[in-house]
């Protein structure tokens, strides 16, 4: 019966979660805003292909592990292959025109992506280690774009560090907030400590002229958001609304960072 049902392609081809899209497009947007180039666009296309491949890959592998390979599984596998081909072609062109130096940050991010994929294959995508790895890895895209734009190495990797300082504490914050929304015990302390450490990192990088000083403002806003978020008395907030708020905070972070970099010549 299942084989004869009409299969909707969109749920197979495109991930539904807003957070995943934001984690991809924040480094892409920041990288292209501060170091625009054709090679940067190619890197962004390659990163998008890798991101899109994850969802159908996860569906296909989970079905395979459960011993229930059906028509949906085959279609998901084909979508994964299609996206990987797109990624490979775009990355090959990026290397041809931008040189192999841009590969290093992507190679450094690969172990984190493998961690995320391994948890996906086990049906444990929501594990803390998987979410942290998956949130930190995309920052490598901004670094690769900056290297393609002839930025100095330290400043290029500074983009990744400041994006990680945005992403990792946010994962801890959202996990705790969601547990509280579902009336489960959760301590705000790890998230608050992580935001404080992220702010210290931003200050250190700014003092070392690795990132512009507005980066401190961007990360401090996130710290303030976390403090207010855990203390707010609004009990009617939904998980969807919380997620949309976080997309807005991500966009604000990228905007503040882009303004800061526009005021500072990082080349």
Please state, as a whole number, how many other Cβ atoms lie within 10 Å of the Cβ of residue 209. 13
pTM recorded for the entire structure: 0.90
**What is residue 202's predicted lDDT score, i.e. its pLDDT?**
97
Lowest mean pLDDT among 11-25, 50-64, 73-87, 102-116: 11-25
Coil, strand or helix at 45: helix
Q: Is 150 left (phi over 0), alpha (psi -120 to 50) or beta?
A: left
**What is residue 246's predicted lDDT score, i.e. its pLDDT?**
92
Across residues 114-140, what is the average pLDDT? 91
**Got the DSSP string for 57-102?**
HHHHHHHHHTT---HHHHHHHHHHHHHHHHHHHHHHHHHHHH-GGG
What whole-number percentage of the chain has pLDDT above 90? 66
**What is residue 266's predicted lDDT score, i.e. its pLDDT?**
61
Convert the pLDDT of each residue in 141-182 to its tens digit: 999 999 999 999 999 999 999 999 999 999 999 999 999 988
Across residues 1-11, what is the average pLDDT? 62
Convert the pLDDT of each residue in 189-224 to its tens digit: 999 999 999 999 999 999 999 999 999 999 999 999
Rounded to an integer, what distance in angstroms lies between the CA atom of residue 95 and that of residue 203? Answer: 34
């Amino acid at each position: 019966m299942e084989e004869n049902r009409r299969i909707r392609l969109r749920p197979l081809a495109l991930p539904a979660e807003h957070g995943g899209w934001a984690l991809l497009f924040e480094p892409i947007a920041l990288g292209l805003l501060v170091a625009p180039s054709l090679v940067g666009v190619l890197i962004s296309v390659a990163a998008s292909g890798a991101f899109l491949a994850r969802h159908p890959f996860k569906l296909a592998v989970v079905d395979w592990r459960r011993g229930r390979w059906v028509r949906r599984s085959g279609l998901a596998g084909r979508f994964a292959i299609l996206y990987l081909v797109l990624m490979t072609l775009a990355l090959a062109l990026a290397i041809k025109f931008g040189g192999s130096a841009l590969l290093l940050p992507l190679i450094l991010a690969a172990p984190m992506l493998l961690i995320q994929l391994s948890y996906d294959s086990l049906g444990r995508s929501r594990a803390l280690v998987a979410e942290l790895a998956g949130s930190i890895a995309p920052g490598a895209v901004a670094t690769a774009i900056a290297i393609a734009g002839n930025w100095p190495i330290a400043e290029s990797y500074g983009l990744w560090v400041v994006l990680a300082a945005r992403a990792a504490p946010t994962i801890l914050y959202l996990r705790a907030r969601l547990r509280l929304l579902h009336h489960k015990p959760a301590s705000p302390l790890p998230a608050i400590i992580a935001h404080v450490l992220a702010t210290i990192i931003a200050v250190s990088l700014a003092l070392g002229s690795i990132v512009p000083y507005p980066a401190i403002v961007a990360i401090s806003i996130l710290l303030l958001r976390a403090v207010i978020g855990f203390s707010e008395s609004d009990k009617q907030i939904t998980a969807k609304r919380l997620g949309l708020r976080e997309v807005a905070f991500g966009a604000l972070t990228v905007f503040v960072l882009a303004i800061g970099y526009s005021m500072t010549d990082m080349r």
